Structure 1
């Protein structure tokens, strides 16, 4: 699993190799808007959880927090 604030949107070419080997939290089980940083325009998907393809993503959701300018991501995986 690879996770963090990458300061890169999901569409970035820098994720090309990661997308080959990992599933993205939102693409697998997310719903609604993928964007995690909304303190300005445009809204961006800067925070990511990438899960190895040999693990199953059971659930993913964003959690709002007033303590950060980013939304938190909670992802549940199964071996």
Structure 2
């Protein structure tokens, strides 16, 4: 499941990076640096949390950050035009 999600997100990132590369080429043609705009890294998912300790622990239940993200998405989806 995680690989499927990562592949889908990376498929969205790839054309964006292609566009960034094109913009960088144009800027470079006019004398600017080759990499004016940085490209987006491929997605990597966390496999645990090291919060409050040095050891990595698996995420086994919903977290406050996850809840906040869900609320933000729901607010955007239900926003009236």
**Which of the pair has more CA radius of gyration?**
2
Give the TM bin, normalised by the shorter chain: under 0.3
Structure whose residues are more often helix by fraction: 2
Q: What TM-score do the two structures reach when normalised by structure 1? A: 0.20
| TM-score where L is the length of structure 2 | 0.20
Higher relative contact order (CA 8 A, sep 6+): 1
Structure ranking higher in strand proportion: 1
